[in-house]
Amino acid sequence: MVELLGGTSSLRMAEAPSAQDRRLTSRRLAVLAATILILVLAPTHFAQARRYTAPHFSAIVIDAQNGTVLSEQDADRPTYPASLTKMMTLYMVFEALEQGRITLDDTFTVSMHAARQAPSKIDLIPGQKVRVQDLILGLITKSANDAAVTVAENLAGNEAAFADRMTQKARALGMTNTVFRNASGLPNPAQHSTARDIAKLAQALWRDFPKEYAFFATEEFTYRDQTYETHNHLMQEFAGMDGIKTGYIRAAGFNLAASAVRDGKRLIGVIMGGSSAHGRDRQMAQLLETSFAGNPISGDALRMAAFDDGSGANSDGAAHTMAALNPVGRAEAAIPRQAAHGSKPPHPVASSTGWSIQVGAFANYDAAQNAGAVALTKLPTAKDKIALVLPPAHSDKQPFFRARIAGFTETEAQKACRTLHSVMSSKQKICAVIAPQPASQTVLQLGPPTPPAPALVQPAAQPADAPALDASGTLEDD
């Protein structure tokens, strides 16, 4: 190409593109290519986001004694077990204890791999030696992923080998739709289970390890001057609850395996894919409460529970569920709290007398005292009993004063609750049988507290158990 200059006969070649022009053109092409790539991949990315933000709901309730299914909804649908995985990790530990291969006082060594696990964790240090009992309690209360991997590596050499053993044990227990790939429940696409299989595992833990099962009632655990509280808030809120495990990752939703006993009847419930921790807990309370009453919900009613966010707006049984969630003690399952590092594992306390009943939990002392006095007037055969108020427990998320009537035998306490259920108004039919507890755990308050009790506090709509964010950006609350 040529260019005529000023009408003269002189000709000059057109200038070639400069190096700067070439760099600008390359940058424009790179930006264009990146834009095209984003447009091509975006539908897939957004589809995955939609898939993980709305996990599928499934649930089941069984009779622990015989495995009879009382209620179920999509109980065979595969999903991610999240931290419910640790139930099998604990099964393997309990089995090793019962077989004499390890003891609670044995120590396991923490590896770099274990210490680097994403939260939740108890901040174990590479090379540290940790007692088996502390690892168990860290798994149950804090749902510590570093503790889970430490257990796996010390029992099987490495986590992958331990996960293979977990899957083999699952098959032996009849869990036909479960595969484990790690000991913690942190995200792995190949790891999956079902509500039915998790219920079988919960039943096996209770059946096969009656002594070690008591660990699941631990409400708090102190390790290296740090106190960890259980993520299972129904332990303080549902009468008879004594375990088992919560779990959450974004792809799974809010999971819960729970077990409760009333009048000698034990039920096991499993919820997978709850929409929130608060809603999941209310759904579980509704499932167990109706099953204990002999009228388990199923079908459309159970599907409705899947969409109940805890407000009660979508549930005909909202008022009943609210009553079930009154923060009462664990009926017939009162097990001492594990309070400090180095103390003995929890175990049931037996006594022929010293049983009590709880008739409510209140945000101020006067309301609790009045409830106990009213309940006493409704019990003609309890004139020699004593109405007491228990001050707020250390584990209370909000301060509650518990109204109790003491001095019963177990049979008398059960009869007293039946009487109150029959004579009290619907709003006051809250009564739980409380087993004897050590004096150090049952501090009775005979007079108004000093300083004065706090003003009435309404329960918060969402518990203060906001999940932590792990290094991969996946939420894991336990």
CB 92, CB 108: distance < 8 Å: no
Residues 6+ apart with CB under 8 A from 245: 83, 84, 86, 87, 140, 143, 216, 232, 256, 257, 478
- Give catalytic status of residue 356 as yes or no: no
For 455-472, letters b (16+ CB in 10 Å) and e give eeeebeeebebebeebee
- Give catalytic status of residue 86 as yes or no: yes
Pick from 227, 206, 445, 201: nearest CA to 333? 206
Q: Name the catalytic one among 71, 111, 143, 184.
A: 143
Q: How far is Cα 43 from Cα 12, in angstroms, rounded to an integer?
A: 53
Residues in a beta bridge with 58: 272
CA dihedral 97, 103, 104, 110 (to 10 degrees): -100
Backbone phi, then psi, for 305, in 5-degree steps? -60, -30
- Give catalytic status of residue 143 as yes or no: yes
CB 392, CB 470: distance < 8 Å: no
Q: Name the catalytic one among 58, 83, 259, 315.
A: 83
Q: Residue 425 carries which side chain, given as an amino acid letter?
A: S
Dihedral over Cα of 144, 221, 125, 91: its sign: negative
Backbone phi, then psi, for 464, in 5-degree steps? -85, 50
Residue 293's Cβ-side half-sphere holds a number of Cα atoms within 13 Å equal to 14
Q: Name the catalytic one among 58, 71, 86, 111.
A: 86
For 374-391, letters b (16+ CB in 10 Å) and e give bbbeebeebeebebbbbb
**Active site members:** 83, 86, 143
